[in-house]
Structure 1
Amino acid sequence: MAPITASSAANRSRDDLEATWAYLQENVEKVMYKLREGVDMKTYMGVYTKVHNFCTSQKPTSTPTSNPVHNASRGAHLLGEEIYTLLGTYLSDHLKKVLVDAETHTDEALLAFYIREWKRYTDAAKYNNHLFKYLNRHWVKREMDEGKKNVYDIYTLHLVKWKDDFFMKVEQRVMQAVLKLVEKQRNGETIDQLQVKAIVDSFVSLGLDENDPTKSTLDVYRRHFETPFLQATKEYYQRESKLFVAENSVVEYMKKAEARLEEERERVGLYLHPDIMKKLTDVCNEALITDHSLLLRDEFQVLLDNERIDDLTRMYKLLSRIKDGLDPLRNRFEAHVRKAGLASVDKVATSGDNFEPKVYVDALLDIHSKYQQLVNIAFTGESEFVRSLDNACKEFVNRNEVCKSNSSRSPELLAKYTDQLLKKGAKAADESELEELLQQIMVVFKYIEDKDVFQKFYSRTLAKRLVHVSSVSDDAEMSMISKLKEACGFEYTNKLQRMFQDIQTSKDLNSSYREWYDKLLQDGGEKRAVDSSYQVLGTGFWPLNAPNTPFTPPTEVNKAVESFRRFYDQKHNGRKLTWLWQLCKGEIRANYVKQQKVPYTFQVSTYQMAVLLLFNEQETLDYAEIKEYTQLNDDILEHQVVGILMKARVLTASPDDGKPVAGTKYTLNTNFKNKKIKVNLNINVKSEQKTEADETHKTVEEDRKLLLQAVIVRIMKGRKRLRHVQLVEEVINQVKNRFPPRIADIKKNIDALMEKDYIERMENDELSYIA
């Protein structure tokens, strides 16, 4: 038998390849053009088997080597490559024909053609991928595993050929058609959105990772669709917005821009790829907002002045979309609120110094409430606008026309208004309303810089309410203290809480005293002089001063006082009681008034009681006699006692000018008349209130000096050595929540501590703590 030569084997292999490919091409052609008609199972299995048999045939096409296994592998390798190459060539030729047909279409017709051909082509690609599965599984996989470039599975090969041989030659024309279609929609025309979506999907499908063909990227989509789409969008809106602004108001333009931005957002969901959202938003923001930001900001003040909430909301939403778009608005808003606040206070100040604290506080709250609502609605409560509001409120609350003569006027008035709310009165608010009013007090309190001034005035008024049992309710008092504690901490309210504890202790003490006194009555040791109660207050917690006048209490009162003193000394040996006569009060019955069936009851201070009880012994008294019996000084006697009794017509004077001097005679008015049976004569005099306010401010200054020195010592004790500038900064940081310290005051107290040998000055402007 004649041997088979290498050349004859190669010829036979080529014959097999040609025959195999002729069969495969015929059926691939059917798949490409007649897939809708279907491929029968016999044909499908025939193609699959042909590919399998050809690729697994052990017919080497090169010179045999000593290694038969290597020869077999090399033969299969070459045969798989031949089919792969022939299929690629076929696809390229096929797409050339498609390209020729594409040249005959434009605009929407071109899109329809592209989409139709893409659908036909990719459906065929999926089917061919199944037909050539064996080639994918073996030869293609082996080539890809070995890192060979430009080898893909059969489906991907179809996409690569589409991209290289068709897409790259028509993509510009296709995109121009897409952009025209989108522009029509932007101009209000109805379009076939599914066409654009199909184009987008096809562009995305063509993205292949060159380093890993099994992975896809968005590179093709971004380069050939996204980039021209964004550029066209930018140009469209720049052109449109420029024309619209020239012919319409700023408010109308904002409505237009708002609508356009919403349209573009919806467009992404309808037919664009989600990846474009941020870039499309940025482009639209630039063309519709950034390019016109100056125009929008110039309109902001007009909208504020006219309280156009809806338009302010619209402007906020637009400018919040661009970088630093809102900063100028926040500055203008802050200036606007500050101006409005100052104007509101000016109206109060024009009425003089006699305005009620409520009027002043309401003026502050009205402005805050108005613009807080605006911030919440128009600016969605954004933190930076809230900060602008806070800065403005802090400014007009602490520096306004009312505060011009006294920088601490705001906390003083706020404390007085709080006192009015928490004190019993005819117009007392109900529980829920009072809680709301107290919450509003805290709104203003937040902006008060001199919180120590408020604390001082508040503690004094609280003390009086507790002593005179005039609080509207203990719950309301504790609610207010709780709010202050939450805002400023435990130390701020410590004394206030201790005052409450003293009142509770006094209640228990009075119960014990009554039991003790009742036992004395039973034993016949004493007779009840007056019905009395007592409050024992700790010196260190109550902001109360000793009486500023000598005083001899009435005999009836003195007996009761001595009785309680004996009881207290038995219970607490060694403690000293100081009687605060200026805070004591009582009720006496006026049995002397003619033609009065039910006697009047006078609510009086102890000083007034002492004077009126003198008339039980004499019908007429000289001023000098009254002074001698009571030992009160002239200022108290004239203004707080005789003056008030004269004004109320309880006493009459001779001569009738009523001037309280020696020689003036006073007589009970037996014809006294009043609509009320219970008449309050214990009234504060305005001059007394002013004196008390001045004393409170002086106390604040002294407390500040002590606080600054304590803080300086505490800092230096911890740090040992510190530069002068650093010490000043730390002191400011530690006390600014109570009051804004002046640098001059800090320096003055540093010098004072040097004189007391707490600290000493070193070199290089350093200070050292002296242990």
Structure 2
Amino acid sequence: MSMSERKTIDLEQGWDFMQKGIMKLKNILEGLPEPQFSSEDYMMLYTSISWLATHNYDHGLECLIPKLITVMHQRMMNKDTYHGYSTYWGKRKVLPSLREKHDEFMLRELVKRWANHKIMVRWLSRFFHYLDRYFIARRSLPPLNEVGLTCFRDLVYKELSGKVRDAVISLIDQEREGEQIDRALLKNVLDIFVEIGMGQMDHYENDFEAAMLKDTSAYYSRKASNWILEDSCPDYMLKAEECLKREKDRVAHYLHSSSEPKLLEKVQHELLSVYANQLLEKEHSGCHALLRDDKVEDLSRMFRLFSKIPRGLDPVSSIFKQHVTAEGMALVKLAEDAASNKKAEKKDIIGLQEQVFVRKVIELHDKYLAYVNECFQNHTLFHKKGGSEKLSDEAIEETLEKVVKLLAYISDKDLFAEFYRKKLARRLLFDKSANDDHERSILTKLKQQCGGQFTSKMEGMVTDLTLAKENQTSFEEYLSNNPNADPGIDLTVTVLTTGFWPSYKSFDLNLPAEMVRCVEVFKEFYQTKTKHRKLTWIYSLGTCNISGKFEPKTMELIVTTYQASALLLFNSSDRLSYSEIMTQLNLSDDDVIRLLHSLSCAKYKILNKEPSTKTISSTDYFEFNAKFTDKMRRIKIPLPPVDEKKKVIEDVDKDRRYAIDASIVRIMKSRKVLNYQQLVMECVEQLGRMFKELKCLYILPPYPVPSDDFVSMPVC
């Protein structure tokens, strides 16, 4: 019957015609012998539906939609009629075929039925495209494709999703136990949970993922409770790392990508977070043992695992700190024991012990710095504070504020001030200060905390450096305007005010001829600035850059003025004895030993020594080492440091005597006559802010004074 032969078509007759096409589609999907749709078949169905829709607009459209939905329902339910319309679909309907299967067989049937249903919905949407495009769109109704998926969700998915979820989780657990499963099948099943949401993930998350994550936690909780008792820390970590790797692999093969962070978090929590302390503190295999036994690979694995859990590195870094501190303190204890050993009375023996201690400390630092870089990926938690991370200006200010507040708890503030002044002097003179603004900032805070007298010398030091730079600029201008005053070498002189700076040793070093001209030129310049000040040269603080012409290559050496003076002696002599060097330089034994040791026995052997021992003796001879070389073209040769702690304490004790004397005078000038005990109490009150320990011998006369006697101020 051609559509052109009739102007109208009865709805019931038209529907019967369309059902034949739908039956053909059903047979194809069921695998029954049925030829595929030809283009003529497709066009006939499409045209028939369009004809019905346009020529029965008032009644036909309202009826076609329910009929179409009925077809989809009948496809899934075990029913053969709907409102009297016969729609035979065969004996195997979707729900009955799924209800009779279980486990993996049910999953395979579900995947097959879902694929067929999507095909049927897609074809029906094509047949009814006219309705979908005009009628449904104008009525703001859901598209037919969405209606088809909703039918499957309401009639099949809602009934079976729980069974499907349990079957999938069971297969996942089987795979975790080492069994082979069909990963492609799980991928197809889980795609149903995603697709049924039609753009939303709520069905996947609520109907599958939540239960899967709960099962994952329970599974690994059981495993961890056994492993933590049976396995060593390295073996446990190997298992944990392998589990995490396999879970990531599952996500890649069949779970949705959004599950990965949630899944790994569950595994990390059960395997690592719950048993972190127990694992790290295992007696014979925990973190302490791994550090003790240099288990670099295991420590690297520990960092990788615990860096992934919240604050997981805190206990690792804490144990690392304890271990390094313990090893460092063990070295200190050995050094203390050696220093107190009565057999080690000679200076050269004690010096050797100190060298060994320093070398051991450096080796310890290098060893654990390598751990920080290689095992712990240079993470800031494993560095000392401020050593590996650059703080912002605000953070530095906050830190300085806290440091100054701690000063309130220090009893001997004057001792702190002297040590701080020594350190500040070295930073300023050798350009080691990280930031001049921060130096001024902390001085301001110290002044607010302890008063102007506390920081007056230190503030003077900072001011001196500013004036010294201006003075150097004037000196350079002087040289440019007076060609005859050229010193022959680049010269920088820092002029300091004596009262502000710590006291330094000043020997009359016999300068080499090359340096004498420099001193004379600067003196001439300084006399043009002022005639009322005397310059005292502190050669111990000077540095020189000299050119060493060695046979392999010429190198630049950065040395102290003392070292430079010693090396320049070898320009005119091939071989010099200890006594000759000492005489020509006019230095003390201690200074000569230090500088010759740095040049012949330390890292850089610029001089060859006879005999070839590691200590300096007054009978030694020295020659220039023409064969010396190094991979660098510019090297710094340091002098061994001098422990100035004892001298600082002695200087502070002297200052305290003067402070006590001044306090007594102030008190007695105001009181005239005072009980001795009261005098002591008032002295303590005046000076207690700077130091607590008042040695009474400073305020006692040369004879005993009873506590109830009075002290009187003589009339001048």
TM-score after normalising by structure 1: 0.54
Q: Does 1:87 align with 2:59?
A: no
1:221: how far off?
1.5
Deviation digits for residues 45-90 of structure 1 (CA, Å, limit 9, x no counterpart): 11111211111125xxxxxxxxxxxxx6xx1xx4223111111112
1:564: how far off?
6.8
Partner of residue 45 from structure 1, selected from 43, 46, 59: 43
Q: Does 1:104 align with 2:61?
A: no
Separation in structure 2 between the aligned mates of residue 218 and residue 295 of structure 1, nearest angstrom: 38
Contact kept, 8 Å, 2:221 with 2:271, in 1: the verdict is yes
Deviation digits for residues 260-301 of structure 1 (CA, Å, limit 9, x no counterpart): 111111211111111212221222222222332232232333
Which residue identity is paired with 1:180?
S
Contact kept, 8 Å, 2:413 with 2:691, in 1: the verdict is no
Deviation digits for residues 688-726 of structure 1 (CA, Å, limit 9, x no counterpart): x889972697389989x99xxxxxxxxxxxxxxxxxxxx
Q: Secondary structure at the match of 2:431?
A: helix
Contact kept, 8 Å, 1:334 with 1:389, in 2: the verdict is no
Partner of residue 425 from structure 2, selected from 447, 456, 474: 456
Q: Hey, what does 1:26 align to over in structure 2?
A: 20
- Over aligned residues, Cα RMSD in angstroms? 5.5
Q: Does 1:206 align with 2:196?
A: yes
Separation in structure 2 between the aligned mates of residue 45 and residue 330 of structure 1, nearest angstrom: 74
**Which range is displaced more, 357-366 or 18-27?**
357-366
Partner of residue 231 from structure 1, selected from 214, 231, 241: 214
Separation in structure 2 between the aligned mates of residue 564 and residue 346 of structure 1, nearest angstrom: 51
1:252 to 1:117, Cα distance in 2 relative to 1, 3 A = same
Q: Hey, what does 2:705 align to over in structure 1?
A: none
Separation in structure 1 between the aligned mates of residue 119 and residue 75 of structure 2, nearest angstrom: 15
Q: Hey, what does 2:146 align to over in structure 1?
A: 156
Contact kept, 8 Å, 1:129 with 1:155, in 2: the verdict is yes
Q: Hey, what does 2:372 align to over in structure 1?
A: 375
Contact kept, 8 Å, 1:547 with 1:581, in 2: the verdict is no
Q: Does 1:538 align with 2:495?
A: yes
Q: Hey, what does 1:180 align to over in structure 2?
A: 170
1:294 to 1:14, Cα distance in 2 relative to 1, 3 A = farther
Which residue identity is paired with 1:345?
V
Contact kept, 8 Å, 2:421 with 2:502, in 1: the verdict is no
1:690 to 1:103, Cα distance in 2 relative to 1, 3 A = closer
Partner of residue 217 from structure 1, selected from 188, 200, 215: 200
Q: Does 1:114 align with 2:110?
A: yes
Separation in structure 2 between the aligned mates of residue 499 and residue 566 of structure 1, nearest angstrom: 13
**Which range is displaced more, 495-504 or 293-302?**
495-504
1:305 to 1:495, Cα distance in 2 relative to 1, 3 A = farther
**Which range is displaced more, 90-99 or 237-246?**
237-246
1:133: how far off?
0.6
Deviation digits for residues 615-659 of structure 1 (CA, Å, limit 9, x no counterpart): xxxxxxxxxxxxxxxxxxxxx9xx999xxxxxxxxxxxxxxxxxx
Q: Hey, what does 2:651 align to over in structure 1?
A: 698
Q: Hey, what does 1:127 align to over in structure 2?
A: 123
Partner of residue 55 from structure 2, selected from 51, 54, 57: 57
Separation in structure 2 between the aligned mates of residue 47 and residue 349 of structure 1, nearest angstrom: 102
1:43: how far off?
1.5
Alignment of 1:221-370 (within 5 A): 221-298=204-281, 299-352=286-339, 354-355=350-351, 361-370=358-367
1:506: how far off?
8.1
Separation in structure 1 between the aligned mates of residue 165 and residue 525 of structure 2, nearest angstrom: 104
TM-score after normalising by structure 2: 0.57
Q: Does 1:384 align with 2:378?
A: no
In the alignment, structure 1 segments of 5+ residues that lack a partner are 1-11, 59-71, 146-150, 209-215, 395-405, 413-449, 463-479, 518-533, 588-595, 609-635, 642-671, 679-688, 707-741, 749-771
Q: Does 1:481 align with 2:477?
A: no
1:700 to 1:536, Cα distance in 2 relative to 1, 3 A = farther
Separation in structure 2 between the aligned mates of residue 136 and residue 700 of structure 1, nearest angstrom: 100
Deviation digits for residues 139-196 of structure 1 (CA, Å, limit 9, x no counterpart): 22123x2xxxxx4222222111111112222223322332232222222222221111
1:295 to 1:388, Cα distance in 2 relative to 1, 3 A = farther
Separation in structure 1 between the aligned mates of residue 187 and residue 526 of structure 2, nearest angstrom: 98
Contact kept, 8 Å, 1:333 with 1:388, in 2: the verdict is no
Separation in structure 2 between the aligned mates of residue 569 and residue 26 of structure 1, nearest angstrom: 117
Contact kept, 8 Å, 1:379 with 1:385, in 2: the verdict is yes
Which residue identity is paired with 1:49?
T
Separation in structure 2 between the aligned mates of residue 302 and residue 451 of structure 1, nearest angstrom: 40
Separation in structure 2 between the aligned mates of residue 190 and residue 601 of structure 1, nearest angstrom: 87
Separation in structure 1 between the aligned mates of residue 168 and residue 245 of structure 2, nearest angstrom: 20
1:485 to 1:130, Cα distance in 2 relative to 1, 3 A = same
Q: Secondary structure at the match of 1:351?
A: helix
**Which range is displaced more, 91-100 or 220-229?**
220-229
Separation in structure 1 between the aligned mates of residue 370 and residue 118 of structure 2, nearest angstrom: 59
1:256 to 1:56, Cα distance in 2 relative to 1, 3 A = same
Q: Hey, what does 1:17 align to over in structure 2?
A: 11
Corresponding pairs, count: 499
Which residue identity is paired with 1:338?
T
Partner of residue 572 from structure 1, selected from 524, 528, 543: 528
1:206: how far off?
0.6
1:41: how far off?
1.4
Q: Does 1:137 align with 2:118?
A: no
1:118 to 1:237, Cα distance in 2 relative to 1, 3 A = same
1:81 to 1:495, Cα distance in 2 relative to 1, 3 A = farther
Separation in structure 1 between the aligned mates of residue 302 and residue 538 of structure 2, nearest angstrom: 62
Separation in structure 1 between the aligned mates of residue 21 and residue 50 of structure 2, nearest angstrom: 15
1:177 to 1:387, Cα distance in 2 relative to 1, 3 A = same
Deviation digits for residues 15-59 of structure 1 (CA, Å, limit 9, x no counterpart): 92221221122212222331584211122111111211111125x
In the alignment, structure 2 segments of 5+ residues that lack a partner are 1-5, 78-92, 340-346, 389-398, 400-411, 441-458, 541-561, 567-574, 592-617, 625-641, 660-686, 694-716
Separation in structure 1 between the aligned mates of residue 330 and residue 183 of structure 2, nearest angstrom: 57
1:336: how far off?
2.5
Deviation digits for residues 722-750 of structure 1 (CA, Å, limit 9, x no counterpart): xxxxxxxxxxxxxxxxxxxx9944999xx
Which residue identity is paired with 1:81?
E
**Which range is displaced more, 689-698 or 35-44?**
689-698
1:134 to 1:451, Cα distance in 2 relative to 1, 3 A = farther
Please tell me whether Structure 1 or Structure 2 has the larger radius of gyration of its CA atoms. Answer: 1
Deviation digits for residues 567-620 of structure 1 (CA, Å, limit 9, x no counterpart): 949962751463649979999xxxxxxxx9x9x967648989xxxxxxxxxxxx
Q: Hey, what does 2:446 align to over in structure 1?
A: none
1:101: how far off?
1.6
Contact kept, 8 Å, 1:207 with 1:218, in 2: the verdict is yes
Separation in structure 2 between the aligned mates of residue 153 and residue 511 of structure 1, nearest angstrom: 92
Separation in structure 2 between the aligned mates of residue 358 and residue 505 of structure 1, nearest angstrom: 44
Separation in structure 1 between the aligned mates of residue 41 and residue 307 of structure 2, nearest angstrom: 64
